[in-house]
Amino acid sequence: MNDRRERRLENLVEATDENTKSGAIDAAADFYIKMRGETTAVPTGAIEQLMERADETGSVTAEEVAEILHTDELPVAARTTWRVGLGAEEVADR
């Protein structure tokens, strides 16, 4: 284990909110498999699903991206807000 790998592992523990290095490695590996796909367990990864959706529809909303990329290891959510005019009293969520 060199210094660069040790720092990377410490960053991974922090990024995954895991308490142990082994837990962080497991979470990162699970996430990678779900994103990449092309395995027996996950034939179609989330990245491929996202690309297919964009190709089929011509565009993808933030909510659709969040729905496709969400995993237990890295929860993803999106909320779009908008308002009209500088003095708008309410911000509408959609």
pLDDT given for residue 72 in this prediction: 94
Per-residue model confidence as pLDDT tens digits over 25-80:
999 999 999 999 999 999 999 999 999 999 999 999 999 999 999 999 999 999 98
Other Cβ atoms less than 10 A from the Cβ of 74: the count is 16
The pLDDT of 11-23, averaged and rounded, is 96
pLDDT given for residue 84 in this prediction: 82
Per-residue model confidence as pLDDT tens digits over 84-93:
887 656 555 5
User: Which has more pLDDT, 48 or 83?
Assistant: 48
pLDDT given for residue 94 in this prediction: 52
Query: Alpha helices, DSSP H only, in the chain?
Result: 3-16, 21-36, 46-57, 62-69
Q: Where are the domains of the chain?
A: 3-77
pLDDT given for residue 83 in this prediction: 81
